[in-house]
Structure 1
Amino acid sequence: MDDFIAARSQMAMSLGFHIIFACVGMVMPFFMAISHYKYLRTGNEIYKGLTKAWSKGVAILFATGAVSGTMLSFELGLLWPEFMKHAGPIFGMPFSLEGTAFFIEAIALGFFLYGWDRFNKWFHWATGVLVGISGLASGILVVAANAWMNSPAGFDYHNGVYSNIDPIAAMLNKAWFSQALHMVLAAFVSTGFAVAGMHALMILKRKNVEFHTKAFKIAATCGCIAALLQPISGDISAKDVTQRQPIKLAAMEAHFNTEERAPFILGGIVNEEEQKVDYAIKIPGVLSFLAHGDIDKPVKGLNEFPREDWPPIAITHYAFQIMITLGMLLCGLSLLYLVVIWKKKHWMQANWFLRLFVLAIPLGYIALEAGWVVTEVGRQPWIIYGIMRTKDAVTPMPGIVYSFYIFTTVFVSLSAIVIFLLYRQLKMVGRLYDVTDPNFGIKSKS
């Protein structure tokens, strides 16, 4: 592995782990706030226990996300100094604002964790909501910075010189809205199904069923609503990418030749030498409709662009296929969930129904990671699309491969510790608020 591949692999690995920590940190505070609201309205101690369980999980993920985010900040400067030299002054504003949102989130989380029975109950609840809002703002601001790499704006570029810098225009680039919307919904889908699945597993084990059922309903409802909205976001993103990065759209569908009524490809094996996708299912006109809203309008193929500007076709295509396949499976499960809560409430405790959510635990995060592969790999060979190539931005420092191994070990260890702590916390608080325990009322108030 050469230093260039090691640097890209280290960033990919770091982002792959951090995005999960960040998404959980963005979404869990809202679950926590919903549960807290239900406690304040009903006085049901189970909701209080659930709120405390989730809030401690939020604290664990907040600390983890802060560590991994800090590591990423250093990696940008250490691995890609040429990129940061020019890009830093242009897209630094969203990172600065993200730092402000992070501090607000930290303060609000401290108030919430230590505010039980100390603050006015609705002020205490509002601090929890603020944790979610500031965490969501942090995520959107970071995505705005990434969107700038896909749609650079806010500067003039001539003969290698960056001038007339406008940080506001850079932050509000053409890609930020579609990417932020898609990312926020993906965070709710992945976290909602993962949390719902874990509580479904506890219900199947018949451990504190009432506690975990209430938790399951909150997480599943949020996750399913987001999953049903995600195709709308995907359509917005597809039309946006068509205008800004047509070569990325072509790579996503392994679409080699420009043609009218362009087919949407499902599955298949990419054959770059013969420029086709073997064993694929093709649906005529659908790609044209997704790209332009018109089944007869032509979609540009890869052959319209210089070969040296092609992204890795197979990786981009397979990642896109994984994302949309898992997304549709979760949409189907979401529709089933709506049927259950409206028409078939007795299915809620059915083992087969709960097992579907257990099986769905990793699906949202796999789709999330696949989507980021599409975004990042599909932009290659550019680190700033159309301006700076990735190979021109990498550090000349040798020995990056050892850094890659060290960072991988750190992130894998950190993830294992987080999973252990979250699982232990869920079990501990679940036992504390077990309504079948004769000491329930005494323990829950202590």
Structure 2
Amino acid sequence: MNDFLAARLQMAFSLGFHIIYACIGMVMPFFMAVAHYKWITTGNEVYRNITKAWSKGVAIFFATGAVSGTMLSFELGLLWPEFMKHAGPIFGMPFSLEGTAFFIEAIFLGFFLYGWGRFNTWFHWFTGVVVGISGLASGILVVSANAWMNSPAGFDFVDGQYLNIDPIQAMFNDAWFTQALHMTLAAIAATGFAVAGVHALMILRRKNVSFHLHAFRIAATFGAVAALLQPLSGDLSAKDVAVRQPAKLAAMEAHFHTQKHAPLIVGGIPDAKNKDVKFAIELPGMLSFLAHGDLDAEVTGLDQIPEADQPPVSVVHYAFQLMVGAGMFMMLLALMLFVAFRKKAWFEHRWFMRLFALATPLGFLAVEAGWTVTEVGRQPWILHGIMRTRDAVTPMPGIVWSFYLFTAVYISLSIIIIFLLKRQIQSVPALYDQPTLTPKS
């Protein structure tokens, strides 16, 4: 393994782990706030117990997210010094604001965790809401920085120099809104289905059924709403990518040949050598419609992109198909959930809870796949159209050992999280259990 590959793998592994911690950290506080609100307004102690249980989970993911995020900031300077030398002054603002949001989140999380019985009830609830808002803002600001890498703005690039820098324009670049919206909905859907899946599993095991059923409904509702809105966000993103990054769209769809009335590819195995896709289902004209809103519009293929500027087609295509497939399945579960709210007997059937339990990892698989599409689809550029990834890597030798070390740290963090969460779930008090709610076979 050479140092360039090791540097890319280190960033891939670091981002792959951190994105899970970050998504949960920016979404779970809203679940917690809803449960807290329901306790205040109804007086049902089950919601109080849910709030306290979820707040401990929020604290766990806040701590691990802080560690993994700090490591990522070091990695940017360690692995990509040439990139940071030029990019730092341009897109430093969203990172600075993200740090401010992080500190606000930390302060108000402390208020919330230690405010039980000490603050006014509604002020205590408000501190939890601030935790969610600041965490969400933190995530959006980081995505804004990544969007800038896909859509450089806020400077003039003249003779290798970065001139006339405008940090505000850089932060609000052409890609920031679509990426931030898509990522936010993805985080809500992934976290909602993951949390709902865990509670569904506990219901199937007939442990503290009332507690887990109330928690399941809150988490599943969040996940379902986000899953149903996600295709609208995906459509906006696809149209944006078609204009700004045609090579990425072509790789996503394994679209080798420029053509009008371009078909949408479902599945298939890309054959880069023969410029073809085997065993695929083609929907005539649909790619043209999704990319440009016109069934007969011309869609740029990889044949119009210099080979040196093409991303790896197979990786991007498979990741995109996985993301879409997982998203479609979550949409189906979302529709079933809303039917279940009308046919309440569904909540008592084991098959219904089994579906959600099986879907526990599905949202995060979609998130990882989507992030792969975003990052690998931009290659070979670290700053689209301006700086290649190879030109940004550090000349320092021995990066492979850094890759091993950082990977070990992230794996260790994940093991610790699994242990803490398992202990937290098992420690839920057996209060307010109602055996009549136990799912039927």
TM-score by length of 1: 0.97
- Residue 426 of structure 1 and its aligned partner are, at CA, apart by 2.0
Q: Could you say what secondary structure the match of 2:259 adopts?
A: coil
- Quote the residue 1:441 is aligned against: none
Q: For 2:174 and 2:406, locate their aligned partners in 1 and report how far apart those are by CA, in whole Å.
A: 33
Aligned length: 435
Contact 2:210 2:434 in 1 (8 A): no
Q: Find the counterpart in structure 1 of residue 97 from structure 2.
A: 97
Question: What does residue 395 of structure 1 align with?
Answer: 394
Report if the CA contact (8 A) 1:45-1:433 is conserved: no
Partner of 1:166: 166
Check if 1:36 corresponds to 2:36: yes
Please list, as runs of the form range in 1=range in 2, the aligned pairs for 1:13-412 lying within 5 A after superposition: 13-342=13-342, 344-412=343-411
SS, match of residue 382 in structure 2: strand
Q: How far apart are the structure 2 equivalents of 1:224 and 1:93?
A: 34
Q: Report Cα offsets for 1:256-311 as digits up to 9, x if no partner.
A: 11111100001111100100000100100110010001111110001111110000
Stretches of structure 2 that go unaligned for 5 or more consecutive residues are: 436-441
Structure 1 residue 420, shift from structure 2 partner: 1.3
* CA distance in 2 between partners of 1:431 and 1:128 (Å): 22
3-state SS of paired residue (2:157): strand
Q: Partner residue of 2:421?
A: 422
Q: Amino acid of the residue matched to residue 177 of structure 1?
A: F
Q: Deviations over 1:119-147 (max 9, x none)?
A: 00000000000000000000000000000
For residues 434 and 7 of structure 1, the distance between their equivalents in structure 2, rounded to whole angstroms, comes to 52
Q: Which amino acid aligns with 2:244?
A: R
Q: Which moved more, 1:411-420 or 1:174-183?
A: 411-420
Alpha carbons of structure 1 residues 434 and 426: separation in structure 2 relative to 1, 3 Å: farther
Q: Which amino acid aligns with 2:127?
A: T
* Residue 6 of structure 1 pairs with residue 6 of structure 2: yes
1:237 and 1:423 map into 2 onto residues whose CA distance is: 37
Range 386-395 or range 413-422, more displaced: 413-422
AA partner of residue 401 (structure 1): V
Cα distance, 1:44 vs. partner? 1.1
Instruction: Tell me whether 404-413 or 170-179 shows the greater mean CA deviation.
Output: 404-413
For the residues of structure 2 that align with 1:253 and 1:435, how far apart are their CA atoms? 50
The answer to whether the Cα contact below 8 Å between 1:270 and 1:277 also exists between their aligned partners in 2 is: yes
Asked if the contact 1:320–1:374 (Cα under 8 Å) also holds between the matched residues in 2, the reply is yes
The answer for the alignment partner of 2:429 in structure 1 is 431
Residue aligned with 2:299, SS = coil
Letter in 1 for 2:412: S
My pick for the range that moved more, 259-268 or 135-144, is 259-268
- Taking the aligned partners of 2:430 and 2:402, their CA distance within structure 1 comes to 43
* Moved beyond 2 Å, runs of 4+: 432-437
For the Cα contact (< 8 Å) 2:86–2:162, is it kept in 1?
Answer: yes
Percent of aligned positions with the same letter in both sequences? 70
Aligned mates of 1:349, 1:176 — CA distance in 2: 43
Offset, 1:329: 0.7
SS in 2 for 1:279: strand
Residue 442 of structure 1 aligns with which residue? none
Q: 1:431 aligns to what SS in structure 2? A: coil
Q: For residue 268 of structure 1, give the secondary structure of its aligned residue in structure 2.
A: strand
Alignment check: 8 A CA contact 1:154 1:169 kept: yes
CA contact (8 A) 2:208 2:430 kept: no
Corresponding letter in the other structure for 1:39: W
**Bigger mean CA deviation after superposition, 127-136 or 406-415:** 406-415
Q: Give, in angstroms, the shift of residue 411 of structure 1.
A: 0.6
What is the alpha-carbon distance in structure 2 between the residues aligned to residue 74 and residue 349 of structure 1? 49
- Code of the residue aligned with 2:140 in structure 1: it is I
C-alpha distance in structure 2 between counterparts of 1:416 and 1:32, whole Å: 24
Given that 1:242 and 1:249 are in contact with CA atoms closer than 8 Å, whether structure 2 keeps it comes out as yes
Q: CA deviation at 1:416?
A: 1.1
Aligned-partner residue type, residue 415 of structure 2: A
CA root-mean-square deviation: 1.0
The secondary structure found in structure 2 opposite 1:280 is strand
1:299 maps to amino acid:
V
Q: Which amino acid aligns with 2:114?
A: Y
Q: Is the 8 A contact 1:21 1:65 kept in 2?
A: yes
Instruction: Report how far residue 434 of structure 1 moved.
Output: 4.8
After superposition, the C-alpha distances for 1:7-43 in whole angstroms (9 at most, x for unaligned) are 0000000000000000000000000000000000111
Structure 1: how far apart are the matches of 2:431 and 2:409?
35
Amino acid aligned to 1:414: L
Q: Structure 1: how far apart are the matches of 2:214 and 2:430?
A: 15
- Structure 1: runs of 5+ lacking an equivalent: 438-446
